[in-house]
Structure 1
């Protein structure tokens, strides 16, 4: 039943930009669950990917690239959020394994 305990933190972690920070603070201390930590790593990775890609694409005036980035990040975020709602720990396609390795200390 650890999934139910950390479900709120897991869902919040997918709110881009501020969500991972809120979820990290909620998942600290005695209430820390591995389920929430898994999703926090995924959400934090998506947020950082969003920021980095946004900064890179802002140097170019290519609307199709910007729309593609927004679409891909949106789809991956929704995928992660739905797996958190269902109580599953499925990695985000393509980048999920990398996020788990980079943020393994969270």
Structure 2
């Protein structure tokens, strides 16, 4: 019983944090499936496709955010690694960003990337 009460309190805090991070008044119910979809979306293009399939079965604002951001990272990585001289350095930086984003999804945070985060959310709006 005590564990369930602690889990409920933790989910309430996470939902409050997500609500603040999204700059909205509505509370987001964060489920384990939403976290799974969000983490899977960052694990290569195949993980993103699988996450998109699962997202079709259970949609959430949290998952939608991470699906958009991870696809944006995949596209950005594909384009930037084509640059011959700095491609290797960019690959290392993107790997670190990916690890950070997976961690943020795993703990239930919505963390928008500083430079391209808004661009990804605005222009990858076909993920509904």
Which TM class, normalised by the smaller chain length?
0.7 to 0.9
Q: CA deviation at 1:67?
A: 2.1
Query: Contact conserved, 1:79 with 1:92, CA < 8 A, in 2?
Result: no
TM-score where L is the length of structure 2: 0.70
- Structure 1 stretches of at least 4 aligned residues deviating more than 4 Å after TM superposition: none
- Say which structure, 1 or 2, has more relative contact order (CA 8 Å, 6+ apart): 1
Unaligned runs of 5+ in 1: none
Q: CA deviation at 1:104?
A: 1.9
Unaligned runs of 5+ in 2: 1-10, 12-28
Query: Contact conserved, 1:41 with 1:100, CA < 8 A, in 2?
Result: yes
Name the larger-Rg structure.
Answer: 2
1:43 maps to what in 2?
Answer: 70
TM-score where L is the length of structure 1: 0.83
Q: CA deviation at 1:17?
A: 2.2
Q: CA deviation at 1:16?
A: 2.2
Q: CA deviation at 1:11?
A: 0.2
- What is the root-mean-square deviation in Å for CA atoms of aligned residues? 1.5
Aligned residues: 99
- 1:77 paired with 2:105, answer no
